[in-house]
Every structure is written in structure tokens, then in C-alpha cells.
Amino acid sequence: MISPERFLALLEEKDLLSPRTVAGLREQIANSAEPMTAAALAKRLIKHGRLTQSQAKRLLAEDSEASSKPAVAKPKPKRSDDLGFAPIEGEADDDRSGKSRQKKQPAQQQPAAKPAARAPAGSLLDEESPHSGGALAGPEPLGGLMADAATAGAAAGSPLAAGARKSFWSLFKRKPRGPKKTEEEKWGGGLMVMGGGAFVVFMLIIGVLIYAMNYTSSDKIFNAADGDYRGGSYVQAIQKYHTFIDKFPSDDRASLARVRIGLAKLWQATPNGANWPAALQVAQEEVDKMARENSFKEAHSDLASLLTKIAENLVAEARKKPTAELVAKAQQALAMAEKPEYVPKELRPESKLS
């Protein structure tokens, strides 16, 4: 059976491992407290991706054949790069130095080993180390070498380390802003802001003007209607009061305008020599409407005069012509004139109604 030393010699001879790696493996095998077989070493190399299973079988079988034949110089095999291995950092220098030494010194032939029974390559690979898991004593050689290669690559500024540093520091970098605005864009943005502000101010001014115009217009219409009412122009006063109510229904003076419309109609119906039964009918209709308004108290003084006048004239007609109809209307007129909701007691002329 091939020994671990011979197996390592074949690996070095065929440039499957660098001299530096082979030397490290030899040192760890020598320092191991328990023996190590070539098959177990091959399985460890296969596990770490440094050797394929077919290569291991070929090497183990090749050494068994070489032991039964005289040693013959063979052409040097292709480099490990042709077998698909990636060199570890530091191996390139060792390979070049090893080649130069091989050129200067003649190749030493290994002494022929005694013929040994040839065992199938598969059975050799299935063998395990006597100790647990077939691992080498001490730190694992391939793991240590790979860790050294990773450390060296990081120290030399490998792309992986550079990428890690870049991704770490990129967390603290500000994201790049968009392209700077040109002067025209800056002025355009400022003009838009100024234009928006000017538009808001303009709308406020328009609102104030509309409010002022409406307020002025409402005052103008109401004052004109009030002037006609006090001047006795009841037809014009009624028309203007209606205009005011239609245009400004929510104005506080709309209730007073409706009261004044009712009073204007009463004043129209009670001139000297009027039709007093008809005047009573107008009074009954309009006073009932005015009583529902908030400004009805404004009509108390006028109603004291108007209702008293209607009652006096109806009583006089009933005395002259005491018909049942005239007497009933006279009584209705007196009841309205004496009603405190229409005419307060302090405004009632008692002498005229007695």
C-alpha cells in the first residue's frame, strides 16, 4: 500500500500541490500522534476541493503499477492550472522557485519499492484513519492554509475586502442629490412662488371688494326703502323692501324689512275716509304675519295708532248703522287694539277706546 510520504511526493511531482503546501502537510503528518494513510489523506484533500476523486484514484493506482515496473522517466505533466485548480496566494512564487531548482538539479529517482499486492483504488479511498474522523492531529492543514490565503488577500487589498469596506462606509455617505438647478430654473421657481402669492393676495382683495360692495349695496337699498316709508311713499317703500329681502335674505335687517312692508300696507289702507271694514281685513292679515318676526316690537308704536284708528271708525259706523256685521267688525277691531301682544298697555290710548 502506498505511504502518505509517497503520495505527497506524487502530488508535488505532478504539480498538483505547491511545495509549500506539501511541506506543511509533511510537517503535520510527522507531528501527528497517530498514523495517517494515503487514502485518508486523499479523502481530506478531496473534501477541501484540492483534489478530485478521479485524480486521487489515478495517483493511487499509478503508484501501485510503478512499484511492479522499473522506473522510467516520464514527461512532466501539465500544470495544476490545466487540471482546474486555483493557485493559493504565495504558491506562484514557490512554483517558480521549484521549477528553477528542478532545472539546476537532476531529478532524483525514487528507489524501487518492493512488489506489493495491488488493491483496488476504491477500497483505498474507503479506508479511514485509525483516529476519529480521519482528521490530522493539530490544526487542519488545508483549513489553515486557506485561512492564511484569505488573510493575505485581505491585507493585499483584495476585491472582496475592498467591496466590504465600500459597502460599510457607503452606509454613512449621503446619497447624491440630483443635478443642480440652472439659474433659469431657480428664477422660474421663484416666479412661480411669487405668482402664487400674488394670486392669493389678489383673491383676498377681490373678496374684500365684493363684501364691501354687497355691504354698501345692502345699506343703500335698505336706507332708500326706509326713506320712502318715512316719507309716506309706501308703494316705492314696499318695492325696495322686497328687493332688499330678495338680494340679502340672511341680512339681520330682513326681519325689520318684512315688518315695514306690513306697516306700509296698513298705512295705505287707513287714509281719511277709507273703507274701514277692508282696512280691518288688511290689519288682520298683516299683523298676524308681523307677529312672527323677531323685529315685531318695532311695529308697536305704529300699530297703537293704526289699530286704534280702525277701531274708532268702525265703532262710529256701527253707531250710525247698527247692523250685525258692522257691530261684529267693531268688536273685532277693539279686541285687536286692546291686545297687549299687538299694542302694549303703555302705548294704548284708553280715552279713545272708552
Element (H, E) at 277: helix 276-290
**Least confident segment among 100-109, 193-202, 320-329:** 100-109
pTM (two decimals): 0.42
What is the predicted pLDDT for the residue at 84? Answer: 41
Q: How crowded is residue 125: how many other Cβ atoms within 10 Å of its Cβ?
A: 17
Give the C-alpha separation, 338 to 296, whole Å.
17
From residue 235, how far is each of 4, 266, 267, 269, 338 by CA, in Å? Answer: 134, 12, 11, 12, 29
Residue 80 has what DSSP assignment?
G
Question: Which of 133-137, 205-209, 286-290 reaches the highest mean pLDDT?
Answer: 286-290
Q: Answer yes or no: are the C-beta atoms of 26 and 8 closer than 8 Å.
A: yes
* Grid cell in block for residue 333: 277691531
* Three-state DSSP class for residue 150: helix
Q: What is the pLDDT of residue 110?
A: 47
Question: Average pLDDT in the 57-77 region?
Answer: 60
CB 296 within 8 A of CB 287: no
Domain boundaries in the chain? 1-104, 190-353
Angle, alpha carbons 96-98-99 (nearest 5°): 65
For cell 511492479, name the residue. Answer: 68
* Angle 220-223-225 from CA coordinates, rounded to 5°: 105
Question: In terms of Cα–Cα distance, which of 205, 267, 216 is closest to 238?
Answer: 267
Question: Quick check: 153 pLDDT over 60?
Answer: no
Q: How far apart are CA 310 and CA 330, in angstroms?
A: 9
Exposure on the CB side of residue 29, measured as CA atoms within 13 A: 21
Give burial (CB, 10 Å; 0-12/13-18/19+) of 161. Answer: middle
Instruction: Say if residue 4's pLDDT is above 70.
Output: yes
Tell me, what's the pLDDT at 173? 57
Pair 55, 16: CB distance under 8 Å = yes
How much is the pLDDT for 67? 55
